[in-house]
Amino acid sequence: MAEPQTLRPPDTFPPVQPGRRSRVLAEEVLVVLSLSLLASAFDAFFSFLSAPVNRTVAVSLFRDVELARQLTDIAFALAPVALVFYLARRWSEPLESFGLGTAAFRQDVSWGSLLGLAVAAGGLGIYLSAIALNVNRFVVPVPPLGHWWTVPILLLSAGQNALLEEVVAVGYLMRRLEQVGWAGAAALATSALLRATYHLYQGWGGFAGNLLLGFIFGSIYLRWRRTWPLVVAHFVIDALAGLGYIAFRGHCFGSLCIPR
């Protein structure tokens, strides 16, 4: 009787050159670690630099540790975006299928900037009204103030939030939901509800405003299958919110006062 053969799961990795396969696997390792333990390792390292082990030493080992912490927080927050790009390559899907093609990138930037300005103008009214009605918290959308790097970090954070939310919650999520058989309207509603829910910490105003924004952005994606305009628009909205707070904090507009 022949001995039973040992069964192995098939290698479903797309057929690529050995050198490229190694690079893709290295990218996979980096993404997985960035989503798990690597961020904790960096956080522990910066804690070590900012708080001396020897109690007799009263100075930090690294003066700009807070800047380094801010930069690494931004980098690790982009790990899910890196995962989307990795999965696209892993399954040999063109980035255009997620609305991330760059053939019309300059046009995407132009339209995204106009969209961001329009949404920022309308969203400001909704946001201030929600605060006045006491159904929303006042959210301070800036990094630590008083540093030379406050504005650069603010802009980098705006870019990070824009990439994370639009690539994952719109381009990736809606594409995958449609691929598993969902109708476009159902994918749109799910994306918008997800966006509204993770902004619920702001209050009901933040929930309602982001639900509306989710439907607007999702409808744009379904119409033109472009994600970059949404990324640019989101960046413009967050950047203006942060810069506006820095410029007007401590000022009052009628009964509404901007806290410091």
Where exactly are the structural domains of the chain? 1-77, 98-257
How high is the pLDDT of residue 49? 78
Q: Which residue has the higher pLDDT, 135 or 112?
A: 112
Q: What is the pTM of this model?
A: 0.84
Rounded to 10°, the helix 204-224/184-197 angle is 150
Tell me which H or E stretch contains 256: strand 256-257
Q: What is the distance between the alpha carbons of residues 201 and 189, in angstroms, rounded to a whole number? A: 20
How high is the pLDDT of residue 146? 87
CA 21 → CA 17, 29, 80, 86, distances in Å? 6, 12, 21, 12
Q: Are 82 and 75 in contact (CB under 8 A)?
A: no
Q: What is the distance between the alpha carbons of residues 51 and 180, in angstroms, rounded to a whole number? A: 50
CA atoms within 13 A on the CB side of 231: 25
235 burial level (CB within 10 Å; 0-12, 13-18, 19+): buried
pLDDT at 151 over 80: yes
Average pLDDT of the chain to the nearest whole number: 85
Identify which of 244, 76, 70, 77 has the alpha carbon closest to the alpha carbon of residue 143. Answer: 70
CA 219 → CA 187, 204, 244, distances in Å? 10, 22, 28
Identify which of 198, 172, 197, 174 has the alpha carbon closest to the alpha carbon of residue 185. Answer: 174
| C-alpha R_g of the chain | 22
Q: Which residue has the higher pLDDT, 6 or 202?
A: 202
Summarize the confidence of residues 13-33 as an average pLDDT. Answer: 76
How high is the pLDDT of residue 255? 58
How high is the pLDDT of residue 256? 61
pLDDT at 16 over 60: no
Q: What is the distance between the alpha carbons of residues 163 and 169, in angstroms, rounded to a whole number? A: 10
Q: Which residue has the higher pLDDT, 177 or 121?
A: 177
Q: What is the distance between the alpha carbons of residues 236 and 257, in angstroms, rounded to a whole number? A: 24
pLDDT tens digits, 45-102: 888 777 656 555 545 555 678 899 999 999 999 999 999 999 998 889 999 999 999 9
Contacts of 60 (CB under 8 A, 6+ apart): 49, 50, 51, 52
Strand, helix or coil at 208? helix
